[in-house]
Chain A
Amino acid sequence: MKITTELKKRNIPIVRIDKSLNKYKDTVLFPDKLAKANEMLRNVGLPKQWTENNERPTAP
């Protein structure tokens, strides 16, 4: 199967790598939103329906 056909089937977009965007690697562009999300996670926590089988997300 052609690669593009496979990508379309899997809903994965074709993304061009732009090295100029690497400058944002260590920059938090939306610090207020991050702070609110951290507060939410502290107050609300993780969903039981996703963690009851000891499922946890793993960092890349």
Chain B
Amino acid sequence: MKLPKYPLSADNDLTTFEFVSEGSKGLIHKLVQFTPTNLKGIFILAFGDKDHLTGDIDDLVISNNGDSEKVLTTVVATIFAFTDKHPDAWIYATGSTKARTRLYRMGIGKYLSEVTTDIEILGEKNDDWETFRINIDYDGFLVRRKKKK
């Protein structure tokens, strides 16, 4: 995606990423982590604000830094980086609140044609999975890299 995004730092395994959001509220450090679930090869993606002094992570805080789109495109960039190293991984993502899940859904919908050249996205709805469709409310999302032919 050629959309603006923040520079990324990561650990050696490319499972934890950090970037700094810059906006009306100043500098806010964000952490993104890919964590294995109980099912082999399936990870969750989660991110939140890092308290620069204490190191505590908060995924419920509303930062209101005026850069939500740039934050989302940066988080999407971490998916590409993580799956470049772990090409067969499947990633599950959902918001910490329904409002956030809806925000993610809108972000995915807005840039769907750009990301789906490289990734497949399913939406979780009514305890089932369907190919992601724009303007449909989902409870979560499952993502994997497309196989190169």
A: residues with CB less than 8 A from B are 8, 10-19, 21-22, 24-25, 28-30, 33-34, 36-38, 40-44, 46-50, 56-60
Q: Which of A21, A25, A28 has the most CB of B within 10 A?
A: A21
The CA-CA distance from A49 to B115 in the complex, in Å, is 19
Contact of A12 among B84, B139, B140 (CB under 8 A): B84
Assuming A14-B8, A57-B89, what are 6 further A-B pairs, CB within 8 angstroms? A16-B8, A16-B10, A17-B9, A19-B11, A24-B31, A57-B42
Q: Is the interface of B mostly helix, strand, loop or mixed?
A: mixed
With A15-B81, A16-B7, A21-B18: A28-B35 Cβ-Cβ less than 8 Å? yes
B105 part of interface (Cβ distance < 8 Å): no
| A13 and B81 contacting across the interface, CB-CB below 8 Å | yes
With A12-B84, A16-B8: A57-B96 Cβ-Cβ less than 8 Å? no
